[in-house]
Amino acid sequence: MKPRTHKKDSRVIVYDADCIEQAGPQLFDPDFWQRKGVVVGVAEGRGSALLLDTDFGPAVLRQCLRGGWPARISRKHYFFTGFDRSRPLAEFNMLARLRVLGLPVPHPLAAQCVRAGFLYSGSLLTRRIMDVVPLADLLGSTDAGPELWRETGACIRRFHDQGVVHADLNARNILIRDNESVYLIDFDRAKVQKGAQGSFKSNLSRLRRSLDKLWPASAPDRLDACWARLLEAYSEEPGS
C-alpha cells in the first residue's frame, strides 16, 4: 500500500496510490458510479453500501451513517473533532494497520471526511472480498460443518492476539469463503488494546448474542455444539 492524503478546503481524502491514481470527491458519489453503470448490487447493513465493479477492481462504497437514537438527530453527520479522528479516516487507517499485521480484513482503497462547521460527514471505499457469504446466512445449515466453526474461532483469536477489539462483532460481520476462509469486516470504532481481556470477552459475548438472535428455530440443538467448537479453537494456543 501507498497511503496518500489529498486535502482541499474542508475536505480530506486518504487513498491507496497503488490502486487509485487520482482521488477526488467523485469516488464517494453514488450518482457518479450509477452514471458509469458499474453498480452491481447493494450490501446489507446500516444504510446503503454499494457494490461496484470499478476500473481498479471490485469495491464497496459505504457512507458513514448513524444508527439508534443519534440517527433521530442526524443520520449522516457527526461532531467534528479532527480529520484523523473522523470515522471514515480512522477506519481506513485501522484497516491499513491490520493488513500490515496479515489479518484477514478488506483492503482500504480510499476514505473521505468533509467538514461543515462543527459537523462532518464521510464515506469509505474498500476492496470487495469476492465469493464470500456472511456467517449469518449459514446458520443452522449442514454446510456449516465443524471446521467452519473452528476456523471462525481461530480467526477471532488471531485478532485478539494482536490486541484488536472489534466494536460490533456479529454474525453479519464475519464472512466465509468455501467453508474455511474467514474474514472480519466493519472496523468502524475498532481499537487496538493489547491484553484487553475484558474487551475480548465482550466481543465473544456480543457474537453469541448475535447467534442467539439469528439462529433458525428449526435447528436449535445445533447452536451449543457449534459454539463449543468455536470456543475450543479460540482457546487453543497459536501453533498448537
Catalytic residue positions?
168
Q: Which three cell numbers stand for residue 185?
A: 469486516
Phi, psi of 204 (to 5 degrees): -65, -40
Strands 39-43 and 11-16: unpaired
Q: Which three cell numbers stand for residue 74?
A: 442526524
* DSSP calls for 19-73: T-SS--GGGG-HHHHHHHT-EEEEE-SSS-EEEEEETTEEEEEEE----SGGGGT
Q: Specify the DSSP element, H or E, that contains 184.
A: strand 181-184
